[in-house]
Chains A and B, each alone.
Chain A
C-alpha cells in the first residue's frame, strides 16, 4: 500500500500550482445542488463545446507538466459558491469575472468575448437590485465582499473531485503535521486554545470533547462526522461535503490523531445523494494516494473512513441516536451519561463532531489557534456559516465572524427583505427564524444584537445549525410555530413520553388557535405544556422542540391574541380565519364567481359589484380562481 509523505505532498502542490499558473484562463462552473437544479451541468457542457469549437485548447483535468498547460483554458466544476439565488454561476479566473444566471446559449459568447478577448459581457454581470449597480465579480459583489469565507474558503473554487487541487491549496499538510510533529495532547490543546465550539447546535468546546475522549484507555476508538443535517432551512454541511470533501476528511484525520482513533464514519443524510457520492470519491482518492490507510504519513498509524447513508430520521442528528443508527438499530437516543467519550459507537470511546466543526480543524492546525481566535466574540470564536433563505433578495450560503449583527446579514449581505411578489420592500421585515426547529425568532428589536452562542440563548433562540429564515410582514407567526411543531411531532422518535405526547398536544392546541376554536386558556396551556416538554424530554430534540412556540408567544403575543380573541389573522394565512370579500371597485359584475360558487354564497346583480355571505362561504377559493379581475380579496 502506498504511503504519502510531506515531500510528495509538496511536490504535488508545487507542480499543480505552477501548472495552474500557466493556463490562460480558468473557468469554474458551480456544480452545487442549487446550481445543478438551475441547469449548470448543461452550461458546463455548452462551455466545453464552445471552447472546442473556437479552436482554443482545453483540458478538464489539469496536467502536471506546466508546458502543456501554457495558454490553454482550464474548465472545471466546483462545489457550491454560495450565491444560490443567482445560479448557475460561472467564475472566470484570473480576472475574477463572475457571471450569474448563465444559460447554455451564452456559452459561445463567453468563450469568444471574455475568455479569448478579455471583454466583459455586461448583461451577464450581477446587478444589485437595491441600487442597480453592476458588479464585476466576487471581489465587488456586496454579498461576497462583506463575508469572511474561511471554512467555506476553497468551497466554490476547487474541483471537489480532484484531490491534487485540494493539496495545491495546502490541503493535508495540517494532517501530516498532526501525525508526525505533534502529540495527541498538543493537537487537543491547539483546538482548545482556538476556542472552537461545536457548530452542530450545542456549542460544546471541541477541544474539551477531544481531551475527554483522549484520556480514556481503550483498544479501539472512533471518530464520527455528523452530516445528518436535518434542520429544515440549513444546508452548509451539504455544501461543504459537496464542495470540499477533502477538508472534511482532513478534519476527521486530525480528530483521529487527537484521540488515537483508527476508524471513522461519515453519516450523511439520504436526501443528499451528491454529498454521498463526492465523499465516497474523496475517501477513495485519499486511500489511493496513500493519505488514508494503514500507515498514515509514515507514522505507523492507521486510519480508515466509511460513509454511512442515513435512512430518513431527523432524530439521528442527535449523537447517541446517530450511533445507534450506524450499529443498525432504530435511531433512538440514549440517556447521558455515559457520554460518547467513554462509551460511544459499538460501546467504544467516540468523538462525534459536526461537518462544519471538522472543516474548521485543518485551518486551525495549519494557521494556529491565535489566528482563529482573532475572529469572533469573547465566548464564540471564529466564523459561522449561515444558510440565508426565505424572503430575502440574496438567498444562499454565507460565512461571517461571530458577533456580526442581524442587520448586516439581512440588509447588507442579504440585500434586503422581499415582499411576496419578489420586490424589495424597505418596511417588509418581520422576523428571522434562527436555528430551525430547535431555535427561535429574532425581531426588529434584535437587529443590532451581535450574533453568538450566548446572546442567542439569552434571547430564547440558538445558533443551532445556522439556518436563518427571513420572514416578511406577510408571514403568520402562528403558522410558522405550527410548521415547526408539526415537524418535531412527526420526527419525535417516541421513546420518551414528554416529547411523544407533549408535541402532539402542543400541535393540537396550535391547530385550535389557527382554526378559531381557542380561548385564552389555550395559550396558557400551550405555554405550560411547552415548559414541561422542554424540561422533561430525554434528548435535544424534545428539549428544544417547544422553542419556536415559546419564542413566538414571547415576541408576537398580540398576534396570538388576535387569532384567539378576534378570530382574525391579519396576514391572511389562516384559512379558517380568512375574511373573504369582493372588492367593489374591481368587480365588474361578470357573475363568473357566482356561477362557480358551490354553496351559492355569492349574490349580486349583473354588471354590479357582487358580495359574499360569510355565513355560507366555505372558503374553497373557487371564486378567487374564477375572477379575472383579482376582485376576490382574502386569498
Chain B
C-alpha cells in the first residue's frame, strides 16, 4: 500500500513520539503498547504494523505480545472501563451477582462487552487486591468496595448523569 509519506507521518505522529520517548527499544515493547493503548484506547492493527517496522521486529511478534496480555485490546473500549473483581474473596461474597447486574443494566454480555455508545466496557478480572472489601469493582482507576447490586446501579447512574450534563 502506497501512501503519501507526509500524510502517514501525521497519522502516526503520536505513536512516533511514544516510540521516541522509549528510545525505539525493543525491550520496551510492553510500555510502548501500554502508552499507545492509553492514547488510542485500543491497539489498531495499522499501529501494530507501524510499531513492528519501527522496532525492526516481525509483525507477528508484536501481535503475539499484544494478544498475550489481557490488558491489551485490539478492539476499541468504552470511555469507562469497569473491572468487576471475580477473585476468590469477591467470588465467595457474591461477585457473580454484581457481574449480572452490570451486564443487565448496561445491556452487554461477556462476549460483547462494550456498550453501543462506546461509553462502558465491562470486564471480569481475577483480583483487584482489595479483598477486604469484597465484592469490589474498579471504574477506570477508582476502586469501589462492598458493591451491592443497588450500589452498582447508583454508581452507573451517577456516571451517566455526569456524562449527559457534559453533552448538554
Contact = CB atoms under 8 A, between A and B. Distances in A.
Contact of B125 (A33, A271, A311, A397): A271
Chain A CB within 10 Å — which of B70, B83, B128, B130 has the most?
B130
B130 A233 contact: no
Given A33-B129, A37-B130, A272-B129, A475 B92 contact: yes
A480 interface: yes
B148 to A, nearest CB: 12
B132 A389 contact: yes
Interface stretch (A17-25, A147-155, A293-301, A324-332): A324-332
A233 B132 contact: no
Contact of A233 (B30, B87, B138): B87
Given A84-B132, A330-B65, A389-B89, A313 B70 contact: yes
Size range of the interface on A? 35 or more
Contacts of B144: 37
B69 A312 contact: yes
A328 B92 contact: no
Contact of A397 (B61, B132, B138, B145): B132
Given A37-B145, A312-B69, A271 B30 contact: no
A328 B143 contact: no
Nearest to B57: A328
Contacts of A471: 92
B131 interface: yes
Interface in A461-518: 467, 469, 471, 475, 480, 483-484, 487, 490-491, 493
A233 B143 contact: no
A218 to B, nearest CB: 18
A387 B34 contact: no
B64 interface: yes
Interface string B130-146: 11111010100101110
A34 B70 CA distance: 24
B69 A313 contact: yes
Contact of A387 (B29, B131, B141, B143): B131
B126 interface: yes
A397 B144 CA distance: 18
A34 B126 contact: no
Interface in A342-397: 346, 387, 389-391, 395-397
Nearest to B147: A37
Interface in A24-38: 33-34, 36-38
A85 B83 CA distance: 21
A311 B71 contact: yes
Nearest to A494: B68
Nearest to B138: A271
A37 B65 CA distance: 32
A314 B143 CA distance: 20
Given A84-B132, A233-B87, A326 B127 contact: no
A308 interface: yes
A487 B61 CA distance: 26
Contacts of A332: 68
A202 interface: no
Interface of A: 33-34, 36-38, 84-85, 87, 229-235, 238, 269-273, 308-314, 325-332, 346, 387, 389-391, 395-397, 433, 436, 467, 469, 471, 475, 480, 483-484, 487, 490-491, 493
Interface of B: 26-31, 33-34, 61, 64-65, 68-72, 83, 86-89, 91-93, 125-134, 136, 138, 141, 143-145
Sorted nearest first, the 5 A-B pairs with minimum C-beta distance are A84-B132, A232-B87, A328-B29, A312-B70, A311-B69
